[in-house]
Structure 1
């Protein structure tokens, strides 16, 4: 009798495919900025939890700078020990950055803050608002602790798949923004 692959093995296989398919597109970060500011801007005064892009991730820096210029306070995550939610520290353009685990970067100093509106990285997404992350569960734990925060996934449109396998701890996104538009589940 054939066995069904476990949720984790299906996600691991999908991560390998998603990493291989992700290719940075010139100008995508600027296009993402325009899409979010036009179609899904955060509420006035919201404390934004962003992330510093790494590798081939869509470039969030143009968006972070534009939100800061519009008067939003911005915070970036510090990767905590496995099993813990992320901690966010304040960021402004010119903030000294420190290298984190897994190739991340975060503000070198600052007291923790709690974002109200989050820009969330992902490897793949579907139209239900499900996201495939890197496998550590950091954003799912963080979003579970911030149930009233708005979570917007950001990615290249090419990262969309028909269905992301999900389990009970996977927290859906409120929307996904790509260089072409916003998808609302």
Structure 2
């Protein structure tokens, strides 16, 4: 498949799965939140959980900040200067739009990969090989192309209706370890 047709195909898939996710999210979100809380309850380390600030159509997992074992162990991404990095986050902390316009921690140092134990990333679609269809910015792929960040387990977050057998992929796409949906956590391989 040539790059032009792959880009065209991905654009069509993004539109299709954005609509599908929006349609299925109201029925799936409570289950996704419960799965994320169950994941939090099994944490036994001091590393941070990398969340995301939810956009329209994405599951809102910010209530994880209310869980006692996570209250001081959360991080949000901030895109600045062409790079996605994570910063510590607590509800009420100052946020400002990052370079993509998404609210992100305004202050504090960028965290090293070793400070995070798990990343949760929104997705439009996800396939059985571990590849995520995102919005096309490539932020997570660039971050996770670094071996230190690739070593951090990462799950996509999306309704089960957005799972597919196979998505088109680019040579730079970095697979995820699994996904979180309304039915629970699904690891592609034991972690």
**Does TM, normalized by the shorter one, top 0.5?**
yes
Q: Residue 179 in 1 paired to residue 179 in 2?
A: no
TM-score, L = length of structure 2:
0.82
State the Cα distance separating 1:11 from its structure 2 match. 1.1
Judging by fraction of residues, say which structure has more strand.
2
Instruction: Output the aligned Cα RMSD.
Output: 2.3
Runs of 4+ aligned structure 1 residues displaced above 6 Å come to: none
CA distance in 1, matches of 2:15, 2:28: 25
State the Cα distance separating 1:111 from its structure 2 match. 0.9
Judging by fraction of residues, say which structure has more helix.
2
Q: Which runs of 5+ in 2 are unaligned?
A: none
User: In the superposition, relative to structure 1, how do residues 91 and 62 fare at CA in structure 2: closer, same or farther (>3 Å)?
Assistant: same
2:55: which partner in 1? 54
CA distance in 1, matches of 2:170, 2:43: 28
CA distance in 2, matches of 1:42, 1:128: 26
The answer to whether the 8 Å contact 2:28/2:181 transfers is no
Deviations 1:34-91 (A, max 9, x none): 213436844521222111101111112123443xx2145211111224xx33011110
Q: 1:1-185 alignment to 2 at 5 Å? A: 6-23=5-22, 24-25=25-26, 28=29, 30-38=30-38, 41-66=42-67, 69-71=68-70, 73-81=73-81, 84-114=82-112, 115-145=116-146, 146-185=149-188
State the Cα distance separating 1:31 from its structure 2 match. 2.5
The answer to whether the 8 Å contact 1:116/1:148 transfers is no
